[in-house]
Amino acid sequence: MAAAAAAALLVSTVGQAGAASPTLRSLAEAKGIYFGTALTQGNLSNSTLTAVAGTQFDMVTPGNEMKWDTTEPSNGTYNFGPGDQIVAFATAHGMRVRGHNLVWHSQLPSWVTSLPTSQVQGAMEAHITTEATHYKGQVYAWDVVNEPFNDDGSLRQDVFYNAMGSGYIADALRTAHAADPNAKLYLNDYNIEGTGAKSNAMYSLVQSLKAQGVPIDGVGFESHFILGQVPSTMQANMQRFAALGVNVAVTELDDRIQLPASSANLAQQATDYATVVKDCLAVSGCVGVSQWGVGDADSWIPSAFSGYGAATMYDNNYQPKPAYTATATALGSGSTAPPTTAPPTTTPPTTTPPTTAPPTTGAAGSCKVANAVNAWNNGLTENITLTNTGSSTVNGWSLGFTLAAGQTITSGWNAAYTPSTGAVTATNLSYNGTLAPGGSTAIGFQATHTGNASAPTAYTLNGVACSIG
């Protein structure tokens, strides 16, 4: 396609999302985050696709070009040409690059999987060092270890784990940091977007790595969703990771629909995309969102999930869908100050609630609590949604509840908790102290237990009993 024709198409594409409307990248940057996409080497020859990619997005993740089977197909022989092409496109369009990835159980050449156990660590360290050094200064962040967990929260028993145990993850992070000290280092996985066994395992791993002084800067939430199934706990889950002192990012977003997609499906998809963006914007330390692919025509979904597709913001002709408009609206609306791109340096602040007395919330029943507990072995997380069902705004809140015997809070998010056992009071932080009538806020905590993982049976908001449900 001639350059003039491509430019005309791009004007048409953007125009359908709103005449002279700002791009996703400019809207995201105004909020202090990025909005990215994934590209493969083959995509670069499609001028329609690249016109949209180069205009709408400000971060690029290579789909396959930096994975082990491409970059080191045989032991000690490296091929960085495909990855270099992605980097060159990004540079030409003022985009940054998320390196993806250095260590993964999949897309490994056979020489790696057939190595004697005693040689795996040396091969892994050499691969990380060589690739991270090659792209030093050109990559914003690396997915250092990709998809380390099974869905039940156990570590995958791949070639790296079998040779080195769980310590391979810390070793990989340290090796990457030594090769490129300025790159942000991530762990990346799917099905960790909401709270559950897998996200709890990732949380515990990050907590352990931080305690050991291992260089880790972020956690990537892949976010390969099925229509209508964005977890309600996603925001609170991201916040608890950010409270550990790491960034979080949505790294591979798509939202697959059983084909053919109806107008109702596309409307739900728009809601799903907007929800993800709003969740990120609400979390201090969420640095950005990346869609996996540019449009439905280059999405991986149809080839991986039979009967599903239409998973992105752009259709097969790279025209914007309702999800595009909803995403742009989510990025451009709201009065909340944009989140900082730097991770918190401490655990959640123990912000003192306002000293002025909050308006009375009325009689019992003017607040409602919904709670959900996920327990394992001797640990649990509880996610609490607090809703003001009264007619007056609450300015500054304290939520009281009593933990079951044997439970001790070890960390929390979106509130300050004191004490850690027995009768606990959770008080608002600086950004969520106001609850308008009908308004709600999501808080939560992680705790240990000695066998009783049940949730509290009663809650009070500023001393007034709340209903539960």
Please answer whether residues 95 and 141 qualify as being in contact, where contact means their C-beta atoms are separated by less than 8 angstroms: no
Q: At what angle do helices 167-179 and 117-134 cross, to 10 degrees?
A: 30
* Sign of the dihedral defined by the CA atoms of residues 67, 68, 69, 71, in that order: positive
State yes or no: is 125 an active-site residue: no
Active-site residue among 65, 193, 252, 382?
A: 252
State yes or no: is 147 an active-site residue: yes
Active-site residue among 65, 125, 131, 147?
A: 147
**Residues marked as catalytic:** 147, 252
